[in-house]
Amino acid sequence: MTRKHFKVSSALKSIIGKDLITDDFVAIFELVKNSFDANAKRVDVVFERTLSDDGRIIILDNGKGMDLKDIEEKWLFVAYSAKKEGIEDYRDEIKTKRIHAGAKGIGRFSCDRLGKVLTIYSRRNTDEKISKLTVDWEAFEKSMQKKFENIPVEYELIDSCEHKLTKGTVLEIANVRSVWDAFKLRKLRQSLEKLINPSQSNVKTPFSIYLKAEEFTSYDSEAKKNGQDHEVINGKVSNFLFEKLDLKSTSIKVGIDKKGELITTELFDKGQFVYRMAEENPYKTENWALSNIRVHLFAMNQTSKSMFTKYMGVRPVQFGSVFVYKNGFRIHPIGEIGRGDVFGLDGRKQQGTSRFFGTRDLVGRVEIDGDNDEFREASSRDGGLERNEAFIYLQDFFIDHVLKRLERFAIGVVKYGNKV
């Protein structure tokens, strides 16, 4: 018997790069998540000259940075994730209690989706020189015959770079593949506002995202002058606060504890507490239980819908409906209009229009925390969660223990005046 080995063609780069990440926003999210995972307190997403041919996208963080060893053993090691192995910064993790957003070891290839050439500058502290790595993604596209690992990427140590980098990582993406105009940047800002769950139990240290596009500063001043603050592109990205809807609508909070024993439900109407109850969690098998999950769901009436539009600058129907967050980060595209309706809300509504809520009537979030490994993000990063048994349990829980109870009150009691 002889042993044979797989060979890997350089064509793998596109399969896990620009072909896998089919959405520009998702590509940015992946890089922001990496900065978060690197314990950064701040990440700047900068767009330079993106209306012209020599535009650049720069992602700059003040996280832990990488030295040559990290670059060789982590960044340049395809489909390897130290986070998944559980050996990425054990000490830092205990200190900050951050649970990593990444685990597959492919997120960094989303740089390929955004632009043809990537330059990384990184360092772990000011005593060290800066590591500079240059990747020309097109070099991988020239011949399928070439082996992945034989395509060179350039590495050097330098004393300084154009970005003020004391500690952390800068990803400089040149030859940007698409046009980032005001409309797209505004949309990106709105998407980034939904990327992070504002009530993160996962994060003890703060994390902020800043969006910068100097080409659009006069556009921003114009928007501000017209009182349209939600049109502004530059500045800190603030998380969307669902709780602002509290006083205007009926809402329900349902949680399953960490051990998966109890389901606790609380219902509020226009800010007033209505009822609370606890019951045994039926979503259990012998060795697994739906656990460490919280849902906060709002029923949108005419008043809350118009308040929403005024505050957000978009109608709730364009904003999306029920988002899912795993350890603080949104799973895309769950919650988006159409393809993000993973709980089948609109199909259900069609069966009984006046008795059921559809995506247009709901805004809210599902938070999945802790290990909860059964809930796995699809590798395509735009495919939501894998449709496994855990996911089916979650769907069932959401419809039976959250949605139906909200409907019973908001439609049955508020609208038709029945008793609780």
Ligand X SMILES: Nc1ncnc2c1ncn2[C@@H]1O[C@H](COP(=O)(O)OP(=O)(O)OP(=O)(O)O)[C@@H](O)[C@H]1O
Count of residues near ligand X by CB under 6 A: 23
Does 290 bind ligand X (CB under 6 A)? Our answer is: no
As measured in angstroms, the least distance from the Cβ of 103 to ligand X is 5
The binder of ligand X chosen from 41, 42, 49, 74 (CB under 6 A): 74
User: Partners of 18 in the beta sheet?
Assistant: none
Phi, psi angles (nearest 5°) of residue 316:
-55, -35
State the residues that interact with Mg ion by CB under 5 A. Answer: 34, 102, 107
Q: How far apart are CA 375 and CA 363, in angstroms?
A: 22
75 binds, among ligand X, Mg ion, none (CB under 5 to 8 A by kind): ligand X
55 binds, among ligand X, Mg ion, none (CB under 5 to 8 A by kind): none
Q: In the 3-class helix/strand/coil scheme, how is 7-36 assigned residue by residue? A: CCECCHHHHHCCCCCCCHHHHHHHHHHHHH
The helix, strand and coil proportions of the chain, stated in percent and rounded to the nearest 5, come to 35, 25, 45
Q: Which stretch binds ligand X (CB under 6 A): 2-10, 59-67, 298-306, 388-396?
A: 59-67
Q: How far apart are CA 66 and CA 125, in angstroms?
A: 9
Q: How far apart are CA 359 and CA 296, in angstroms?
A: 15
As measured in angstroms, the least distance from the Cβ of 100 to Mg ion is 8
Site of tokens 């940015």: 28
As measured in angstroms, the least distance from the Cβ of 94 to ligand X is 17
Cα of 25 vs its chain's centroid, Å: 10
Q: Which stretch binds ligand X (CB under 6 A): 58-66, 213-221, 293-301, 317-325?
A: 58-66
Long-range contacts of 335-342 (CB under 8 A, 24+ apart): 335/194, 335/365, 340/384, 342/384, 342/385, 342/395
Does 20 bind ligand X (CB under 6 A)? Our answer is: no
Does 82 bind ligand X (CB under 6 A)? Our answer is: yes
The binder of ligand X chosen from 25, 29, 47, 75 (CB under 6 A): 75
Q: Which stretch binds ligand X (CB under 6 A): 5-13, 27-35, 260-268, 356-364?
A: 27-35
Write each residue from 108 to 147 as x if it is in contact with ligand X (CB under 6 A), else as -, in one continuous string.
x---------------------------------------
Q: How far is CA 259 from CA 65, 254, 287, in A?
A: 36, 15, 12
Does 17 bind ligand X (CB under 6 A)? Our answer is: no
Are 282 and 261 spatial neighbours (Cβ–Cβ below 8 Å)? Answer: no
Q: Catalog residues that contact ligand X under the rule CB under 6 A.
A: 30, 34-35, 37-38, 61, 63-64, 66, 74-75, 81-83, 88, 102-108, 169
